[in-house]
Each structure stands twice: as C-alpha cells, then as structure tokens.
Amino acid sequence: MTKSIKSECRYPDSSVLYRRLKRSFPLIVRGEGCWLYDDTGRRYLDACSGALVCNLGHGVSEIAKAMGEQAGRIAYVNGTAFTNEPVEALAAELAGLCPKGLNKTLFMCNGGDAVEAALKISIQYWVESGKPLKRKIIALNPGYHGNTLLAMSASARPHYRAMFKDWLVDVRTIPAPYAYRCACRGEKKDCPACGAGALEEVIRREGPDTVAAFIAEPVGGSSTGASVPGNDYFRNVRSICDRYGVLFIADEVMVGAGRTGTWSALEPCGVAPDFLLFGKGITGGYAPLSAMVASERIVDVLARGSGAPLHNQTFSQHPVSCAAGLAALRYLKTHALIERCARMGRLLHESLQKLLEHPHVGDVRGRGLFAGVEFVKDKSTRTPFPRRLRLAETFTEAAQAAGLVVWPNTGQANGTDGDLVMIGPPFVITEDEISEIVRLFRIALETTIETIK
C-alpha cells in the first residue's frame, strides 16, 4: 500500500492538508515500545509519546485485538437511543479510579471536546439551579485547553486567539502558578499567583453571583512546560471555590491517566474537583477518546430539570473507542505501568537535571514521566530568546534530524517570547532509553545554538 507514497511527504505534493505546510513529513510505518520507524528503516526515539498520548508505548496488540473484537460485534450505536457494553464498563472503571462522587462520565473524541462539555455543562448547572447570572469562566494565564471556540476562549495563548478574537467569549484570567517566571520563584505562600489568592481576588471583583467555574491543569501543560504548583495551591483553590460557590474543572487531558505518576495529577493534593477531564493517554493513542467525569451532585440537578446535558457528539460513547479505553486501563493495571511511570520518572528528572549545565537551559521541571525544559538567552535574568529566532521550532527539527521526537511550545515568557520543549516518553521507557534521550537532546541543542547564531 505504501510503495506509491513518497518517503518524504509534503504540501502540495500530497492530497493531505498537513499540520505544517512548509516542511516534509517522514512516513511512519511501524512503532514498537518507545520507537517509531519510517519507510526507509530509520528509527526515532519518541520522547513525547506523540503528543503526550502514547502512554503504553507503540505496538500493544492486546488493545488492537480488543478494538477489532468490538468492531466485529457492534461498531456504532446512537448514544441518544442506546448504550453499549464497553461504555458501561469503562465508566465503571473510571468511577473506581476517580475521587468519591465523581462517577458520571461522558465520553467524546478529544480533549477539547471534554473541555467544551465541562464549560457548557457548568453553566447549564447554574441555570437549572436557578442562578442564571453565574456564567463567567476564570482560567489561568499562560494556559491552554483546546481549539474549539469556548475552549480556545479559556486558553490564554495570544498567537492561537488573534485571528478568531471576535468570535471568542470573554474569559477572565489570573496568573498561572509558574514558579520559574514568578518573582517569588514559588516560595511565598502569600503570593497571589503561587498561593491562589489571585483567584479569590477576581471572584470578588467580578461578583461571586456571576462566576460559574474555574478551569486549570493540576500540573501545567505545554503552556507552562510542566510547571508544578505547590500542593497547597489546589487545596486553596478548592477552598475558595467552595466559599464562593464556583465549580472547579480540572483539565487533566495532558497530565492525567498516569502521566505524572498517579492516576490523577490532583491526587497528591488530596482534593476533588467538580469535573475531571481526561483525554490523550486514556487509550494510549489507539483510538480517539476523551472523558468528562462529572460530580453526581451536578448531574442530579440536570436529571431533575431538563433531563439532558446540553452537549453531545455523533461519536460520543463510541463502542470501539471505549473498548480501546477499557483495554488500555486494564493493561495499565496488569503491568503496573503507573507505578513504573513514577519510578522511571524519578530517573528521567535526575538525568535531565544534567542539562542545566548548558548556559541556555534555564529550567528543568515536572513530575513523573512529564518534563519541561525551558530555554533562555540569559540564565541569570531568565531573559528569553527573541521570538524571531524560533528556537523551540529549530530545536525540534534538529532533534528529529538526530532521531529524537520532542514537543515544542512558545510564548510562555510574556505571551510572545519564550521557548521550551516537553518530554514525556511512554511508560515503558527503559533506563538506557532515558540516557539516549539526554544524549540526543545535547546533540540537538548544540546544533540549534549554532544554527541561530
């Protein structure tokens, strides 16, 4: 099938509308563990699990088999008319993994869908509770929650929002708990950003009777490069939300499903949100699937009122995707991969700390098999490289040329400048492969610095 396809695919030679229109794409034909192989036989160490998705590694036949068997029985049913075995079983499994009371799950196709659903249902909840003025959303800056319009509205990324600003909802933002870029360096409990005081301030300013929900990633995603707030941060968030009657939405699309060494990234904080969102790694990448897990007390209000959540998709509760999710969860448990993630994560961070010897590596941070490496022009002042140099993109290309796949992000320093890359390999990563990540990273960084001089 692939013989007529060129090894390097690019626009406009192909009929595919690529994610990038000014570069060539190697044709990947196979994956095994932490490695990808293109049609020329060249291999790439997948140090970011694709897009922080392939938690289980590539080539897990058990999940492919479960999907095939389900497709052979029934591939699709309309979720407004029927339910199916995999969706019922997967929802029950998730209820057992999530905090008590978070036990009603709507399954969709990707993380942005889960965010969109949680934001819409949070407003619907207040309307059906007799408080229709509670419609405002508060989010973190920097932050990212997806590309659908409501999710994008809650995403403080100017370069994503600029072209569509007239369509977006006015979402209030507060500074993210981003220790590396905060004046207090994450050390002052009374810091409005790092201690969550900024959340209380904006709720009071806007008026608690107008605020519906606060949305945040428990560990920063690509927008803050795996920045980890202190455990008190989300305890304070929960207390503030309870005090003012604001729903707390924990977006764990990137950082959940075991990625930070616990099933939920919120677990070390000991708090429960009102909505817990999963995506990306929930199937290990074997099928598109996301999950919005809602508190039963919220769903009860809808059940007594309109009788339906005002959000749906044609492919919600999809049997084959849910079969993939169920098989992935059981594979995680059988092979103790979350425990492995925590163990190998400690080794990963210990190894990555060596990169701080480089004059342009400003910070290395994260938890579990989830790390961010932030580049700076000047380490003493944390001054970023100018955006015109496109350092993160140049590094990513140099890394791929060296056989290493990483995930770039830009603009985190001030909305325009700032360069970092994310590292988040599959949970099956070995000690030798971690050493190889660091080795190839150094090669790519030296190439990048020479290129931008």
- Cβ-proximal residues to 184 (8 Å cutoff; 6+ apart), any chain: 191, 193, 194
* Tokens, residue 190: 């009374």
Whether cis (ω within 30° of 0) applies to the bond prior to 359 is no
Q: Do 348 and 261 meet the contact criterion of CB atoms below 8 Å apart?
A: no
What mean pLDDT comes out for the span 91-120?
97
In CATH terms, the superfamily for domain 8-59+336-452 is Aspartate Aminotransferase, domain 1 (3.90.1150.10)
Q: What is the pLDDT of residue 272?
A: 97
| Backbone phi and psi for residue 147, each to the nearest 5 degrees, phi listed first | -110, -5
Describe the strand order of the beta sheet including 419-423 as a list of residue ranges. 361-366, 371-375, 419-423, 407-410
Closest CA to 141 of 185, 186, 168, 173: 173
Chain segment 141-163, per-residue pLDDT in tens: 999 999 888 999 999 877 778 88
Assess contact for 198 and 118: CB atoms under 8 A. Answer: no
Q: Residue 3: its pLDDT value, please?
A: 45
pLDDT of residue 161: 80
Residue 32's contacts (CB-CB under 8 Å, 6 or more residues apart) are 57, 58, 59
In this structure, what token pair is assigned to residue 218? 């428990």
Instruction: Write out the two tokens for 171.
Output: 């979402």
Domain ranges of the chain: 8-59+336-452, 62-334
> Which residue matches tokens 């080795």?
439
Condensed to tens digits (0 to 9), the pLDDT of residues 219-249 reads 999 999 999 999 899 999 999 999 999 999 9
Residue range 330-368, pLDDT digits in tens? 999 999 999 999 999 999 999 999 999 999 999 999 999
pLDDT value for 1: 41
Classify each residue of 166-202 as buried b or exposed e, where b means 16 or more C-beta atoms within 10 Å of its C-beta. eeeeebbbbbbbbbbbbeeebeeeebbbbbbbbbbeb
Burial class (CB in 10 A: 0-12, 13-18, 19+), 346: middle
Using a 10 angstrom Cβ sphere, with 0-12 exposed, 13-18 middle and 19 or more buried, the burial of residue 78 is exposed
Tokens describing residue 90: 């997967």
Q: Stretch 415-422: mean pLDDT, rounded? A: 96
What topology is assigned to 62-334 in CATH?
Answer: Aspartate Aminotransferase; domain 2 (3.40.640)
